[in-house]
Structure 1
């Protein structure tokens, strides 16, 4: 299918690693589609060379930055401004249909059936379900659409400072017009949703098709010991990502991506603690376990989460617990 492609974006070498894991997962699950990656000038020449080993189409694009510090401050994510560069994907008009996937996603099975969907098909965002999450979406490249999106950027801007605000403003009938454009959440499963609604994860998590490492902390921010298969990092940060998905990402990186990075000098052998010949293609089966319980938080942290609309409605802040607290106070 030379006129259909999965598309991703790398804005630096760190996201290049993510794109390599994503591409490897798509190849491992026998996709019949082409793989395309947009790269900005901040991606090194050596990383681009590695990406060309895996991707059919590596395109250098200019950076589009919203410069919207006020809205980005609300998300506490100033780095999201450059995600507007994602809009370049509509310029890939040599493809008739594409599926965009963020570089911090990873497929768990073949998902080529996504190409049966129409523009703009996406899964709901866990933070505001009337908005779609722009980490995975089906689209049709079009210069006309691209120019209209740029006009929205120049005029109204983005309500969150990033691409998700722009796209939800532009495709503003997604939540009401056509249920067929609502992708099941298993096509964009985030760790945020796993922990906020554990019963649903227990019920449907085994059917997950795409995992999205949503949030500020990414898999490549941690360290991995290939011998012990252990991941190290700040405990609170580790909690934010499901441990088995995180391990799967690191095994894919270590056994399939790292040899390419070492071959092209992006990563030195001395930096890995491994010899090149010790890195094999073997992958072990990962069983998805129930996430560990969240670490206790202070009263002040809990207050801040309430003020930010992040109450733990399925746990400490459930109606039953609130009722008990009220009853105790009234007595």
Structure 2
């Protein structure tokens, strides 16, 4: 059996949906190596059983929290503190070399050649290319390295409060020391393509090997029509609509039937969907919940259901259906009502 492994992390049942789809995307791509997932205590037993079906190793780890509220505030992403838990990946010493993948990544093509790289190899971050993005990186498990990084974290913290800021501080020579440790961007392409690289996304999309749903948009939060199995991709992600649909295709083919109502969060809710069937009131209610979450996350379908015309139509219908107020009662001659 291979001594190399793909490694990811999940901290709850909802995020485990991403880990399950990621595992199946790796299998579909024909990887020759093992799969390992780190889980925190908040992942339910029901979900762990499903993870064990597709991962060679499912290992529980404790939550490491940066407790760096000031720096996390800069990103308005306080939940990133627990991403320090990612450091536990260095403790998987049963493997010689690993590639870490965030659970919100999707493998589109075989990437086994990444194991030819050395620690710490990663792709440049789209927002600051002199830093690497920690959603995908090659490393060598080592208890010594784990100890050194955690000690460094205590002494120096992280410039963004999360694992990416910490790892860029620790591996601070990445930008200048060895070009071989710079992975091509196709191994960690952000799904959100800003105007400055949207043309390049379109030009090189067939070469993309790993897509990363970085940021607040996660494929499992995108509106989904269970009847026709189609994802309702927000307008600003239209360039990646087919890739988002690919995530949902894997979910429908390989993940959905394995879910149960014993799971927490969206995983439990998704288990109740009846794919390819006429939507029930329960499914309608679920999809409305998903739509609300999209709104709260700023993912609004301005050109579709959430267009001004549709919103105004809904407001008008609500106002017209509201009963007219009863006229006030006239007082009787005695002065009582």
TM-score, L = length of structure 2: 0.77
- What does residue 93 of structure 2 align with? 93
Give the root-mean-square deviation of aligned CA atoms.
2.3
Counterpart Cα distance in 1 of 2:133 and 2:238: 18
Contact 2:226/2:273 (8 A) holds in 1: no
- What does residue 212 of structure 1 align with? 212
Within-5 A mapping of 1:1-331: 1-193=1-193, 195-232=195-232, 235=234, 239=237, 242-262=240-260, 267=268, 271-274=272-275
- Between structure 1 and structure 2, the one with the greater Rg is 2
Residues 230/33 of structure 1: CA separation in 2 closer, same or farther (3 Å cut): same
> Higher mean Cα deviation, 201-210 or 266-275?
266-275
Counterpart Cα distance in 1 of 2:145 and 2:270: 45
- Per-residue deviation at 1:295? 7.0
- The superposition leaves residues 122-163 of structure 1 with CA deviations (integer Å, 9 ceiling, x where unpaired) of 000001000000000000001111001111111110110000
- Per-residue deviation at 1:14? 1.2
- The superposition leaves residues 111-130 of structure 1 with CA deviations (integer Å, 9 ceiling, x where unpaired) of 10000000000000001000
Counterpart Cα distance in 2 of 1:60 and 1:8: 12
Contact 1:90/1:145 (8 A) holds in 2: yes
Residues 258/171 of structure 1: CA separation in 2 closer, same or farther (3 Å cut): same
Counterpart Cα distance in 1 of 2:59 and 2:33: 17
Gaps of 5+ in 1: 277-293, 297-331
Counterpart Cα distance in 1 of 2:87 and 2:271: 38
- Per-residue deviation at 1:31? 0.7
Residues 210/6 of structure 1: CA separation in 2 closer, same or farther (3 Å cut): same
SS at match of 2:202: helix
Counterpart Cα distance in 1 of 2:140 and 2:180: 16
- What does residue 322 of structure 2 align with? none
| Number of residue equivalences | 277
Gaps of 5+ in 2: 278-300, 304-337
- Per-residue deviation at 1:243? 1.6
Counterpart Cα distance in 1 of 2:270 and 2:150: 43
Counterpart Cα distance in 1 of 2:156 and 2:238: 33
Counterpart Cα distance in 1 of 2:86 and 2:18: 15
